[in-house]
């Protein structure tokens, strides 16, 4: 059978629409005592994350001997069930450093997927740590937190550092996975 070109195009479009699966087109009502029409409603929820309940970490005063460490329990929300975390410091190139007047002190960072963990996965400045979980289903985490960041300064670096105050900023970036 020889169909006109326009007819062939319409037939191909109809087959493509049926092959698309759940395609729905609004239907219009007809004139009468009552009239009914229908339409499709769609919604897209993008991947979302939030980090909150962060508190500053004061390591205290070094009086000789031992490492100095501190931790902060915090909240991570993800509607995807998982996330990746990237930590950067304010040292050169994002290094984990406490900035002093004469020298800078390096520190280490660990990430744990539970509050109060005390230890976690070692982090590298600027490198994402993927495959993290333990997220809450609401952004506020309620009365309990679900993650912990741990920082530590090695005793060798502390013992060789000159007197003074040292400060740093640790930035934590959460992304959905």
Confidence of residue 170 (pLDDT cuts 50, 70, 90): very high
Share of the chain above pLDDT 90, in %: 77
pLDDT tens digits, one per residue of 14-26: 334 444 456 789 9
Positive or negative torsion for Cα 135, 138, 144, 147:
positive
Share of the chain above pLDDT 70, in %: 86
Confidence of residue 7 (pLDDT cuts 50, 70, 90): very low
Mean of the pLDDT values across residues 141-160? Answer: 93
Name which residue leads in pLDDT, 29 or 12: 29
What's the pTM?
Answer: 0.81
* Spatial separation of the C-alpha atoms in residues 18 and 145, rounded to whole Å: 49
For residue 94, the SS3 value is helix
Contact between 109 and 72 under an 8 Å Cβ cutoff? The reply is: no
How many residues are recorded in the chain? 177
Is the pLDDT at 1 greater than 80, yes or no? no
* Spatial separation of the C-alpha atoms in residues 137 and 76, rounded to whole Å: 10
Mean of the pLDDT values across residues 23-50? Answer: 95
For residue 14, the SS3 value is helix
Which residues does 113 contact at the CB level (< 8 Å), separation at least 6? Answer: 120, 132, 133, 134, 146, 147
pLDDT tens digits, one per residue of 44-97: 999 999 999 999 999 999 999 899 999 999 999 999 989 999 999 999 999 999
* Spatial separation of the C-alpha atoms in residues 119 and 109, rounded to whole Å: 10
Q: Quick one: which of 131, 77, 87 has its CA closest to 110?
A: 87
Residue-range domains of the chain with CATH: 49-176 (2.60.40)
Distances (CA, A) of 59 to 22, 62, 128, 151: 58, 8, 25, 9
CA atoms within 13 A on the CB side of 79: 7
Q: Quick one: which of 137, 133, 113, 141 has its CA closest to 45?
A: 137
For residue 100, the SS3 value is coil
């Amino acid at each position: 059978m020889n169909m006109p070109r326009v007819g062939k195009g319409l037939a191909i479009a109809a087959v493509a629409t049926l092959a698309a699966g759940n395609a729905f087109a609004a239907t219009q009502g007809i004139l009468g005592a009552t009239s009914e029409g229908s339409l499709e409603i769609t919604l897209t929820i993008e991947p979302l994350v939030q980090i909150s309940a962060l508190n500053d970490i004061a390591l205290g005063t070094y009086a000789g001997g031992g490492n100095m460490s501190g931790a902060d329990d915090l909240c991570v929300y993800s509607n995807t069930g998982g996330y990746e975390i990237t930590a950067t410091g304010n040292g050169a190139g994002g290094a984990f450093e406490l900035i002093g007047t004469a020298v800078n002190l390096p520190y280490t960072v660990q990430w744990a997927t539970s509050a109060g963990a005390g230890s976690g996965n070692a982090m590298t400045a600027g490198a994402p740590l993927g495959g993290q979980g333990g997220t809450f289903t609401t952004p506020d985490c309620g009365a309990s937190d679900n993650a912990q960041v741990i920082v530590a300064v090695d005793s060798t670096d502390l013992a060789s550092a000159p007197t003074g105050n040292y400060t740093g900023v640790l930035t934590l970036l959460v992304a959905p996975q």
